[in-house]
Amino acid sequence: MKLNRIHHIAVICSDKDTALNFYHNKLGFRILRENYRPERDDWKIDLKLDDSEIELFIMKDHPLRPSPEAYGLRHLAFRVDSVDETVAELESMGIPCEPIRRDAFTGEKMTFFRDPDGLPLEIHE
């Protein structure tokens, strides 16, 4: 078996407008498709950043994440040229970030911020 690369990551969100404002307007993902599924009363929105895709599922009344340390997806990480510049840009858009620190193993700068539903997102040099 040969896996070539990750095709997409799926994220469940609670509000369509808030999620699109965050992922599309603020983080810069391009919208590929927006599909309403009446049989499920939800939206599936496909977004693209470079060669990576995220599927947003906009669903009502789903449980909150108990903790980022629960089994399953822990966080999404994005490579950036400058953590300092990216933090400044995120915070200028009203997106708070944790203090910048160095990865314990690589020594590279990194930090976390959260999407509107609390999913941890990492930026890493």
Asked whether the predicted pLDDT for residue 1 surpasses 90, the reply is no
For the domain covering 1-61, report its CATH number: 3.10.180.10
Return the domain boundaries, the chain: 1-61, 75-125
Token pair recorded at residue 70? 């629960």
Residue 3 has pLDDT above 80, yes or no: no
pTM exceeds 0.85 for this model: yes
Instruction: Tell me the per-residue pLDDT of 61-102, one tens digit each, with 9 for 90 and over.
Output: 888 878 877 777 889 999 999 999 999 999 999 999 999 999
Q: What angle do CA 25, 30, 31 make, to 5 degrees?
A: 95
- pLDDT for position 25: 97
- Distance between CA 57 and CA 66 in Å, rounded? 19
pLDDT digits (tens, 9 = 90+) for 95-123: 999 999 999 999 999 999 999 999 999 99
Please check the confidence at residue 6 and state whether its pLDDT lies above 80. Answer: yes
pLDDT value, residue 83 = 96
Mean pLDDT across 1-19: 90
Is there a shared CATH topology between the 1-61 domain and the 75-125 domain?
yes
Task: Identify the CA nearest to 12 among candidates 36, 39, 43.
Answer: 43
Q: Which pLDDT tens digit goes with each residue over 27-52?
A: 999 999 999 999 999 999 999 999 99
Please list the alpha-helical segments (H only) found in the chain: 16-20, 83-92
Whole-number pLDDT of residue 74: 86
Helix, strand or coil, per DSSP, at residue 40 = coil
For residue 72, which of 119, 112, 36, 116 has the smallest C-alpha distance?
Answer: 119
What is 75-125's CATH number? 3.10.180.10
